[in-house]
Structure 1
């Protein structure tokens, strides 16, 4: 089972303020523990939304909307992707996640879909082939 630990954005992260040494040290230690346990798949911080964009789908057309985006509580500042045996194990690891901000903050944990969760068919087989060749779905 794969889970994504999502770090919610803050005013500081959206302003491009880099985390301090204390937070970076705590994050490094935590991610080292995940790696030693063999469950760390990936983890990274994201640039502020001012450097991003969204694609809006409206009436069959696509429109590009450049950042920044105003609702920081809805934005993601970073993520950690883990693979564990159960939801309980994911919860155990998430409880140990260091506070990613110098102020009150929040993380969200969401389980990823696996190919087995979908009705089997040609499209799922194509994804399975990509996965086997090294491309991630």
Structure 2
């Protein structure tokens, strides 16, 4: 199976978990990034998993593709405040800190998305958008 990982606007083909781990290591080295993992057959229509990262803060968004239903990760619901994220198009978005999950969980979710062919990762608590 082939997927495409788009790291802050730069697309890379992902053919194996080793490829994915290498790309995630690169993302880990960046202070902030926008990362998308999509099916290469039809990236616009298929499932997609997005990670926004700012330092130690990160959150995930899952798009199913077929029905345009989306959901986002849910971390500590008691967490107050917000976190800003720099997007590949230069825009800065702000999201609740309660959506943040550990980077290690984001990486496991990316691996699960890849190995299941685009299924929503079960290890993450999701909230519909």
Superposed pair shares fold, TM > 0.5: no
Question: Quick check: which has more Rg, 1 or 2?
Answer: 1
TM-score by length of 1: 0.25
Highest relative contact order (Cα 8 Å, sep 6+), 1 or 2?
1
Higher helix share: 1
